[in-house]
Amino acid sequence: MSPTAQSTASARRVVFPFTAIVGQEEMKLALLLNVIDPKIGGVMIMGDRGTGKSTTIRALADLLPEISVVANDPFSSDPSDPDLMSDEVRQLLEQGAEIPVAHKKVQMVDLPLGATEDRVCGTIDIEKALSEGVKAFEPGLLAKANRGILYVDEVNLLDDHLVDVLLDSAASGWNTVEREGISIRHPARFVLVGSGNPEEGELRPQLLDRFGMHAEIHTVKEPALRVQIVEQRADFDQNPPVFLENYKPQQEALQEQIVNAQQLLPEVKIDYELRVKISEVCSELDVDGLRGDIVSNRAAKALTAYEGRTEVTVDDIHRVITLCLRHRLRKDPLESIDSGYKVAKVFSRVFGVELPESDVAQKNGTGQKLGARG
């Protein structure tokens, strides 16, 4: 390897490969489906400390293929999609100007707990705007996260107002900053991923409901699996280039599968009867609003596209419905039944399928449900 190539390789941060992560299938599935269809609305990951939440999210961002962006644009505007362009780029396009195109990795933006609203949304330099007649906008983290992943660790400790701002931007795809009568907006379409430890408090139900999916993760109990995870981490730390080379074929195959799924998604169909049954499950579980219905439909379609098919099956719905609904149930403090089991039980009754052993084990507390497949 030449000195230049070596310095380029060392300049890029080495990230543990996504396909090498053992267990935590529920979290991995939720993240992949949100990347295939960002309109699912993000993922809330709740679980024990040290279960690889940050590692998995960084690995996913690193896995994703490069995207085309407008060169030197602070918002990573898409050169071909007006919905993902800043107003300035759209004006240049309408004027027939040539748009310089560059390629870059999908951004993963970490939101620090102590971040202020200005740091998140961006600021307008009022003095400059008034004296020079220009909109002097300093972009914030939402601008950086456009077309990428915005990760908020310990989201349950973040100020509710800031969580609201993030969720509003994620839902609308735009961030608007207003100061002293001056208003600036820019595209802010990102996959919002929040994580937290239930011991440190829950999110308010109104905010929790706005996350598309909710994955629960637990410390792996099986000794053999724990040893495998420890050994893999040791191998990676000892010689990252060799470890990455070993996983290169799996990484490339998964990357291709994601790209194919994104292209196939518009063709995926879900039968009317299945849509009615999804709504029946939501109704029986007394889920407020229609977000649960919408997200369950979207997630089932994304899973179908991920597996290279165009017709949603009952099994597809079963594998995503708990992830989409468990955080939308009204929780009775005296209720001992796990909300995931409750969703699975109603699903099996409405769809007329037998409750899988993994769901029964979850209710009895005798098994750890790692995968979404029953």
Active site residue 179: no
Closest CA to 328 of 365, 271, 284: 284
Task: Identify whether the C-beta of residue 75 lies closer than 8 Å to the C-beta of residue 143.
Answer: yes
What residues pair up with 60 in beta bridges, in sequence order? none
Question: Across the chain, which distance is largest between two alpha carbons, in Å?
Answer: 70
The Cβ-side half-sphere exposure at 79, using a 13 Å CA radius, reads 15
Task: Identify whether the C-beta of residue 318 lies closer than 8 Å to the C-beta of residue 49.
Answer: no
3-class secondary-structure state, position 178: strand
| DSSP structure string for 88-142 | HHHHHHHTTPPPPEEEEPPPEEE--TT--HHHHHEEE-HHHHHHH-S--EEE-HH
Active-site residue among 147, 189, 210, 291?
291
177-201: b (≥16 Cβ within 10 Å) or e: beeeeeebebbbbbbbbbbbbeeee
151-164: b (≥16 Cβ within 10 Å) or e: bbbebbebeeebbe
- The burial of 358, by beta-carbon neighbours within 10 Å (0-12 exposed, 13-18 middle, 19 or more buried), is given as middle
Q: How far apart are CA 370 and CA 374, in angstroms?
A: 10
Task: Identify whether the C-beta of residue 367 lies closer than 8 Å to the C-beta of residue 361.
Answer: yes
- Active-site residue list: 291
